[in-house]
Every structure is written in structure tokens, then in C-alpha cells.
A and B are shown apart, each in its own frame.
Chain A
Amino acid sequence: MEVRVQNIRKEFGRFPALDDVSLDIRSGELIALLGPSGSGKTTLLRLIAGLESPTDGTIFFGADDASKKSVQQRNIGFVFQHYALFRHMTVLDNVSFGLKVRPSSRRPPAAEIRRRATDLLELVQLSGLEKRYPAQLSGGQRQRVALARAMAVEPNVLLLDEPFGALDAQVRKELRKWLREIHDRTGHTTVFVTHDQEEALELADRVVVMSKGAIEQVGTPDDIYDHPVSPFVYGFIGQSNCINVTLSSGEIWFEDRPIGLRAANEPDGAATLYFRPHDIELIDGCGGCLAGLVTASRRVAGTRHLEIDLGRAHPPVEIELPPERASSTDHTRVAFRPTKWKLFRKEGDIAAAQPVEEPASQLARTGT
């Protein structure tokens, strides 16, 4: 089912946990809420579930205003971070609970409930553990029981709060793939919360990046990674470097020299340049570049990370190179230039604050 969150505001006491948040969740999509701790992800999820009521704003389930519905009536599946299984019930009873508590007019017959619960347990690969109690399961198994229990009611929306938060890296990876498969098979509209960006980017159709109670950006994983719209998203998703530069008649200057990048229509003044460690090219001889001494070098899987000191006044920047390319530059001075980058300007820098982005093709013109 389609869920529309409109201008939601949520205050705890006087503290706004969410401030004017709007989001359209499409039917059948798998969407991730990503953000640092305290950014309001759980709060948004609980508002959608009806476990919390908004201070202001409306949530629509399809065409219906959900504000008028209780938690029970919303028919959502919620998976809690710490599972919240019923510990005095067996795995099978946990999964059948949602069907058993239905009023008799809507309750399937006992045999049917049992069949559906068993099917779900098979789907989450827990066949054979029906008779166990939650205390007798591993963390990953409990997680899957929680998911099966939430899916048993055939929810309009499936809401998962850090579903893999308490599990180790290996299990997380497996469950992640498996959740994607289940989603593709069942087609439930699913919202999941995570603060693991890798998880969000790998799993979700769309990612919602949140910070301090507001949505920073909504987009596909590619969008979010390749076209971050704010310094926060740039810094939060993936690796990035930022350096303070100045603009002078469309040229970007770092300290006392131009670095060979142009931002044609930007007014003069201070700005911050963001680029990712792997979006750079090495340059022989520096006619307009960033240059510095390599202070550290680490091999990370298939690439080599070099830490470069641009000058005492600046924090070091990091670049990534293929190992064979890097070996020729070890412990020497390197010159490089970002190939994909973005400028952000603060209110005080200039009057016009909108960010500028230069496509890589234009850079060629201004290079060397």
C-alpha cells in the first residue's frame, strides 16, 4: 500500500524530534531510512505505525487518513530492534498470534492459521523450530521469527527498525540478501531503519537520508551516492574530502593557486569543495592542481588509500588509487585533481547559496 507522510512534526516535550517531514512511499517498494543516531528514524517509523501520534501533520495509507486509525486498525507489520518476541509462546504461537487475535468474523480456521504460520516459518528458513521458545534461539533466528510474525498478518506496510542492528557482520550480510529476496517474492511495501549506509545502499530501492529530525535527501542509492544534495549527505554517505577554497572570477583557488577547476557562474568568495577519494586523477606536472606529500598509505582490499598533507593549516585528504598506480608515488609528492566534485557555500560566504556541480566533461577543458 502507498503511504504518504505529509508535513509531519513530532515534539517530545518542547524538543522537535521531527520537523516538517514529508515523504511518499510507493506501493511495493523497499525504502530505507538512513541517518545518524538521534536523527528521528525510529520516531518516523513509529508515527507511521501509529505507536506515536504526530504533533502536527497527516499520514495517509492509500487514500485514507491514518491519523483516525488506531495501531490495531492500521494493519502494519512492525519488527522491533530487539525483536520483542512473546517469550512464553513457542515460535509457532508467536507467528500465529496476529491471526489468532482477530475477531472471529475475520479469523481463519485453526488449521488454516497453522498452515500459514508453518509456511511463513519455511519462508524464513526456520522449519523444524516451531516448538522452540524464543530463549532457545540464536539472535538471527529470533530476528527471523519476528519478521515472520509481522508478515503473518499480511500487513499493508512492513516496518523494520534496525532489523539487523544486533547481529554480527556475517549474519547481517546473509539476512540482508535474504530480506531482499523475501521482499521481491512477497512484494510488501517495506520501510526499514538503519544507520548502516552500506546496508541501505545495497538493499533499498530508495534511500531517505535523515539528519536532526529532517529529511536531507530522498533518492535511489545511485542518486544519493553520486549526487548528494547537501554537505551532510556528502559527508555521511561514503568517504569524502572537503577543503576550503575561494572562488575568483569562476576559477577555484586553493590557498594561493588555482586548482584547475572552474565554476563558471559562481560569484566570488569562499566555498567548500567536496570530492570522493576515488573521484580523482593524478597529474604529471602541476599546472593547476592539488598537491601535497603522502603521509600515510594503506592497502584496503583492491585499492590503496593515500593520505595527503596539503599544508599545515588543512586536515589531510584521502585519495584512492589502483595499487599499481599508487606504488609509483609512494612517499613522494603527488599532484591530483578531483574529477567529480561539488561546491557548497554557507550563508555567510556569498548571498547565493545554491550548490554548483560541474560535469566531468567540462573539467577536461579547464584541466592541465
Chain B
Amino acid sequence: MAFRSSTRWRFRQPSVIPGFGLALGVTLTWLTLIVLIPLSGLIWRSSGLGWSSFMALVLDERTVNALTISFGTAFIAAVVNLFFGVILAWVLVRYRFPGKRVIDAMVDLPFALPTAVAGIALTALYAPNGWIGSFLEPLGIKIAFTPAGIVVALVFVGLPFVVRTVQPVMEEIDKEVEEAAATLGANRYQTISRVLLPGLLPAGLTGFALAFARGVGEYGSVIFIAGNLPYVSEIAPLLIIIRLEEFNYPAATAIATVMLFLSFIMLLVINSIQAWSRRRYSNGA
């Protein structure tokens, strides 16, 4: 990192591409219109509550449970997606088999399918009398109408994020790097764990962050499979809707603000880790 410490931080890095001022202006205006104004409206509304009533609303047991379930299931689903997404991307990049194109196209389906449809389909499958649920039932495993069902739905909607961010990076892995590891005596497992996976870390983290963010905000597919039992399988977005239907706007905005805040913090942390690892070995040989 010798060169990084020797250059002072500068507002603008010199670049051969002109138009920095214009680009930054457009970016900020756009972000303001699309993201910042709606979100600040939210914060504005909740700030009218005053700190103590805000905290009371947030620390309400049902709210805390809903938030925990939302973030917890989204996190577990993102971890599952990271694991299987990387394997799936690997298979798509490295192997040739009949039907590969079809599978490749299927990965994007969760993007295209209305989430409610996905939710209903998953519920039908995992319900105690469904195709999969009827096999799990005798084993004492319940998926539908439990937090596990939420994870299943979030894994479904989040899958493409990991696959599609990791896949192009994997395609660029130089075959020679693996061969170099082999000539140095590394076995297959060592090559994967020490050479290939660390190289995929930044892309994997990006995919993880996207899948996680999507999972936190997901509504449509979850409400069908979750069962929506307060304190058990009720997600925060649903609780917001419930509060809105009760015309309890302060509570709705308070929950929304906390979600916003937590998501922002988590994404910021993930993005920093990712930027750090990317900076270490980008554009190298």
C-alpha cells in the first residue's frame, strides 16, 4: 500500500476523461430527486415525533421482533445465496452441458416473475399438503408459515444477484493462474480456497449486499409463505402496512426510518470491505 499512503487524499483524482463536474452534477441531482427527497420526507415525518416517543415506537416488542425477523432472514438468505450462487456461477462458467443456456436464463426468472406469484407458488410447494411440504411434514420440518419459509422466499428472489455479479468476474479468471497453483504443488482444494475464492471476494460481497438489501425490503413473496404471525413470522415491511392501515402513521414512519438506517449502515460496511479488497488487487497481473 506504499503508494496510497504517499498520495494525499484529493477531492478529485486527475483523469484523462473530461466532464467530471457535469457528471457529478447530474449524479447528485438525480440521486436527490429519486432517492434523497423521498427518504428525507420520511425522516422529516419521524423527526416530528420527538425522540422519546420515537424510541417507544421502535422498541415496541412487536416492532423489534419484526425488524429482527426481517434482517435475520435476509442475512441468512444472503449467506445461502452467496454459497449456492457462487457454485451455480461456477458451474455455468466452467462446464458445458446440455441445457446450460436454459439454466442460465432461468437464473434471471426471479427478477422477472411478480413476487406475489413466486410467493404463492412457494407456499403451494412448501405448505404441509404441498409437493415438498408433504415430504417434510413427517420429518417434523415446517417451512411454510415459519421464518424458514421467509428464508426460502428470500433465497428465491435474491439468487440472481449473486450469480450475476460473480459470473463475469469468474469468466475473467485466467486459466494460467490455476495452472500456476497446480505447478507449485497446490491440490484442487487449495487452489480453490487460496487462489480462486479470494479473487472472487469483492464480487461475492457485492452480490451478497444486493441480495441482502433486496431481502430486507422484500414484501410480495414473503407475505404469502410467512404466515404473518406477530412476534414469530411477521416481517417489518408488513408491519408498516399494518400500521398504515390502522392510520397509525407515526409508528409506520418510525419503523421505516429504523429500517432505512440499519440498511444504510450495513450496506456502507459491506461496500467499504468490498472497496478495500478491490483496491488491493484491482487491475493487476
Q: Footprint of B on A, CB under 8 Å?
A: 49, 51, 71-72, 74-78, 80, 82-89, 97-98, 101-102, 131-137, 142, 149-150, 152-153
Contacts of A131 in B (CB 8 A): 1-2
Per the 8 Å Cβ criterion, residues 163-196 of B in contact with A are 174, 176-177, 179-187, 190, 194-195
Inter-chain contacts of A75 with B (CB < 8 A):
185
Assess whether A85 is in contact with B185, with CB atoms less than 8 Å apart: no
Query: A43 to nearest B CB, angstroms?
Result: 14
CB–CB B177/A102 < 8 A: no
Say yes or no for B3: interface residue by CB 8 A criterion.
yes
Whether A101 pairs with B185 at a CB distance below 8 angstroms is yes
B94 within 8 Å of A (CB atoms): no
Check B3–A136 contact: CB distance below 8 A.
yes
- Tell me which residues across on chain B come within 8 A of A101, comparing CB atoms: 181, 184-187, 190, 194
How near does chain A come to B189, taking the closest CB pair, in angstroms? 10
Q: How far is the CA of A96 from the CA of B77 in the complex (A)?
A: 37
The 12 sampled A-B contact pairs (Cβ below 8 Å) are A71-B179, A71-B183, A77-B183, A78-B183, A84-B177, A85-B177, A88-B280, A101-B185, A101-B190, A135-B283, A137-B285, A153-B184
Number of A-B contacts (CB under 8 A): 93
For A74, list chain B residues within 8 Å (CB).
Answer: 183
Contacts of B283 in A (CB 8 A): 135
Q: Per DSSP, are chain A's interface residues mostly helix, strand or loop, or mixed?
A: loop
**Given the complex of chains A and B, what is the CA–CA distance between A49 and B186 in angstroms?**
14
The answer for the CA separation of A142 and B285 in the assembled complex, in Å, is 8
Give the nearest-CB partner of B179 in chain A.
A51
With a CB–CB cut-off of 8 A, which chain A residues contact B280? 88, 133
CB of A84 within 8 A of CB of B179, answer: yes
**Are the CB atoms of B179 and A72 closer together than 8 Å?**
no
Given contacts A135-B281, A135-B282, contact A86 B183 (CB under 8 A): no
**Cβ-based interface call for B284 (8 A):** yes
Q: Report, nearest first, the 6 A-B pairs whose CB atoms are least far apart.
A: A135-B284, A98-B184, A87-B284, A84-B176, A87-B281, A78-B183
CB of A82 within 8 A of CB of B183, answer no
Q: Which residues of A contact B190 (CB under 8 A)?
A: 101
* Centre residue among A82, A88, A149 by max chain B CB count within 10 A: A88
Are B184 and A97 in contact (CB-based, < 8 A)?
yes
B176, B183, B185, B285: which contacts A134 (Cβ < 8 A)?
Answer: B285
Q: Are B281 and A134 in contact (CB under 8 A)?
A: yes
Give the residues in chain B near A134, CB-CB below 8 Å: 281, 284-285
Query: Does B198 count as interface, using CB distance less than 8 angstroms?
Result: yes
Within 8 Å of chain A (Cβ to Cβ): is B199?
A: yes
Contacts of B177 in A (CB 8 A): 84-86
The interface residues of chain B lying within 8 Å CB-to-CB of A80 are 176, 179-180
Q: Pick the contact of A51 from B1, B183, B198 — CB < 8 Å?
A: B183
Q: How far is the CA of A137 from the CA of B285 in the complex (A)?
A: 9
CB nearest to B189 among chain A residues: A101
Known A49-B183, A71-B183; contact A132-B2, beta-carbon cutoff 8 A = yes
| Chain A: CB-nearest residue to B186 | A101
B282 neighbours in A (Cβ, 8 Å): 135
Contact across chains for B2 and A51 when beta carbons are under 8 A apart: no
Docked pose: A85 CA to B195 CA in angstroms = 10
B2 pairs with A136, CB closer than 8 A: yes
Contacts A84-B176, A88-B199; A133 near B186 (Cβ below 8 A): no
Which residue on chain B has the smallest CB distance to residue A146? B180
Residue of A whose beta carbon sits closest to that of B277: A88
Please report the C-alpha to C-alpha distance between residue A136 and residue B1 in the assembled complex, in whole angstroms: 8
B185–A84 CB distance below 8 A: no
**Measured CA separation A152–B282 after assembly (Å):** 26
Taking a contact as CB atoms under 8 Å apart, the answer to whether B281 and A88 are in contact is: yes
* Chain A residues positioned under 8 Å from B277 (CB to CB): 88
Contact A82/B186 with A101-B194, A134-B281, A135-B285 known, Cβ cut-off 8 Å: no
Considering the complex, which residues of chain B in the window 190-229 have a beta carbon less than 8 Å from any beta carbon of chain A?
A: 190, 194-195, 198-199, 201
Most B CB atoms within 10 A — which of A74, A85, A101? Answer: A101
Which residues of the partner chain A approach B199 to less than 8 Å between Cβ atoms? 86-88
Residues of A contacting B180 with CB < 8 Å?
Answer: 78, 80, 84-86, 149
CB distance from A279 to the nearest CB of B (A): 43
Contacts of B1 in A (CB 8 A): 131
Contact among B176, B181, B195 for A82, CB-based, below 8 A: B176
Contact (Cβ within 8 A) A97 B181: yes
Interface string of B146-178 (1 = CB under 8 A from A): 000000000000000000000000000010110
Query: Smallest distance from the beta carbon of B200 to chain A beta carbons, Å?
Result: 10
Q: How far is the CB of B6 from chain A (nearest CB, A)?
A: 12
A51 to chain B: which residues have CB within 8 Å? 179, 182-183
Please determine whether B187 and A72 come into contact, CB atoms closer than 8 angstroms.
yes
CB-based contact B186/A97 at 8 Å: yes
Which residue of chain A is the closest to B195 with respect to CB atoms?
A86
Whose C-beta in chain A lies nearest to the C-beta of B175? Answer: A84
- Contact in complex: B179, A87 (CB < 8 Å): no
- Closest chain A CB from B215 CB (angstroms): 28
Q: What CA separation (Å) do A132 and B199 show in the bound complex?
A: 16
Q: In the bound complex, what is the Cα–Cα distance between A80 and B195 (angstroms)? A: 16
Complex interface: chain A residues within 8 A of B179 (CB): 51, 71, 78, 80, 84
Docked CA distance A120–B163 (Å): 40
Q: Looking across the interface, which residue of chain A has its beta carbon closest to that of B280?
A: A133
Inter-subunit contact A76/B183 (CB<8 Å): yes
- For the complex with contacts A84-B180, A86-B180, A150-B184, 5 further pairs of A-B residues with Cβ separation under 8 Å are A82-B285, A97-B184, A98-B185, A134-B284, A142-B285
Q: Chain A residues with Cβ under 8 A from B185's Cβ?
A: 72, 75, 98, 101-102, 153
